[in-house]
Amino acid sequence: MIKVGIIGVGTVGTSVAQILKDNADVISARAGQDIEVKSGVVKNLNKDRGLDIVITDNVDDVLNDSEIDIVVELMGGVEEAFGVVKKALKSGKAVVTANKALLAYHRYELQDIAGTIAFEYEAAVAGGIPIITALRDGLSANHIESIVGIMNGTCNYMMTKMANEGVAYDDILQEAQDLGYAEADPSFDVGGFDAAHKLLILASIAYGIDAKPEDILIEGIQDVSSEDVAFAKEFGYVIKLLTIAKKDGSEVELRVHACLIKQDEMIAKIDGVMNAISVVGDKVGETLYYGPGAGGDATASAVVANIIDIARSGKSTPMLGFDKPMEGTLTLKPSAEIKSKYYLRINVSDKTGVLAKITKIFEIHNISVETMLQKSTSDISANLLISTHIAKESNIQDMISELEKLDFVNSKPVMIRIV
Ligand code: HSE
């Protein structure tokens, strides 16, 4: 019999306990032994969780309980959770977590502390989709060429509604929060940080890259307007928040930002709160994973899978997938060096000579225009909708800074990368 303690019995924790009970027959057969939740830790003892487990508000009741084999950390946050997980590992307990923020900052330290003790985190990336297992085990024969995903259901729901129903950004955020997918602080979703935490975890497994959120390009969807969504649609594109890891020689680029994607691309068709991840390996080719990236039962399904794995073997594979560093280690490409095609919307005064001056600035910054369209916004102003050929990120950023200073440019130009 394996005994589990859950730290943070909220939506996911309750589902973990419930699944272990509801599916005890198949779980016990697969694990080779029974698994039982002995106790759970909560902040508020007055709320009834409807579970027949011991509930406490003292984390040490679980950490110091010698009968508990596996600690499931679902409390969230970074430093407090780090302290709790370290303590659990140091007392020899296996750990399962769904905490992507914790891993985005402390995964390598945790790997060292865990050593041969099992430490699993399938639910930390894309909830119910078994992407960690796929990448770490199923694709371990491959050099990973790219990972491109929709890994934030809240943003994807919002972008889908904006595209399909023309709903404005502000009206839809509350709706997305009501669905229960959003982080406690929704700026983690719309600012791209939640997706970035997931990307950093995958980048470690795919490439052995030890980067922190501060090291990579992270933008959210806050600046995507209904206007841009409508223009994108008119030209056969959709706008999505994408999570991208791409190997380029000995460098890897890691980025999270809104993207224009051709409507007929597979990833463009992922709507609503669902997640999808495309992983390209040099031997396998493209593989695609789709499913619920959040929600109590979906996330708990991944947590329980980790518990079963630990009950079977008691030992983790190398936590981040590498038993020793790879020769010719890959390095992180500086964000300024990233290359992409770009969409720009520049609202200008509609006067003689403006276009010539704008295109001159493009030339100075070595940016080649692919297509251009002018749409009037009033008698005296117009939107210039421009797509570029492949350009360097630093050149685009410098050009935007120069453009926004011009007196005939009415507002900060909008830039969205095209993939
Ligand atoms: N807040 C996340 C999302 C779910 O909206 O996808 C958990 O990672």
Output the domain CATH number for residue 80.
Answer: 3.40.50.720
Are 255 and 300 in the same domain? no
**pLDDT means per 10 residues in the chain (419 residues)?**
97 96 97 96 87 93 97 96 98 97 98 95 97 97 98 94 86 82 86 98 97 96 92 94 97 98 95 96 98 94 97 83 87 97 97 95 97 94 97 98 96 96
Are 284 and 364 in the same domain? no
Are 24 and 110 in the same domain? yes
Are 24 and 102 in the same domain? yes
- Burial category of 356 from C-beta neighbours within 10 Å (exposed 0-12, middle 13-18, buried 19 and up): exposed
Is residue 358 in some structural domain?
Answer: yes
Residue of 12, 99, 154, 301 with the most ligand 1 atoms within 8 Å of its CB, for mutation: 154
CATH of the domain at 220: 3.30.360.10
d(CA 346, CA 365) in angstroms, rounded, equals 16
CA of 292 relative to ligand 1 center, distance in Å: 10
Are 111 and 59 in the same domain? yes
Are 279 and 254 in the same domain? yes
Closest CA to 152 of 205, 197, 204, 209: 197
Are 100 and 181 in the same domain? no
Looking at 282-400, which runs of residues are DSSP E strands?
A: 285-292, 331-332, 339-349, 369-376, 381-388, 391-392
- Burial category of 368 from C-beta neighbours within 10 Å (exposed 0-12, middle 13-18, buried 19 and up): exposed
Angle between helices 193-207 and 100-114 in degrees, nearest 10: 30
Are 260 and 207 in the same domain? yes
Is residue 136 in some structural domain?
Answer: no
| 0.85 exceeded by pTM | yes
What atom of ligand 1 comes closest to residue 198's alpha carbon? Answer: 8
The amino acid occupying position 76 is G
CA of 399 relative to ligand 1 center, distance in Å: 34
CATH of the domain at 340: 3.30.70.260
At 352-399, the pLDDT tens digits run 999 999 999 999 999 999 999 999 999 999 999 999 999 999 999 999
Domain count along the chain: 3
At 249-258, the pLDDT tens digits run 999 999 999 9
Is residue 132 in some structural domain?
Answer: no
The amino acid occupying position 295 is G
Are 161 and 277 in the same domain? yes
d(CA 227, CA 239) in angstroms, rounded, equals 11
Are 261 and 275 in the same domain? yes
238 φ/ψ angles, rounded to the nearest 5 degrees: -120, 160
Q: Which domain holds residue 393?
A: 335-418
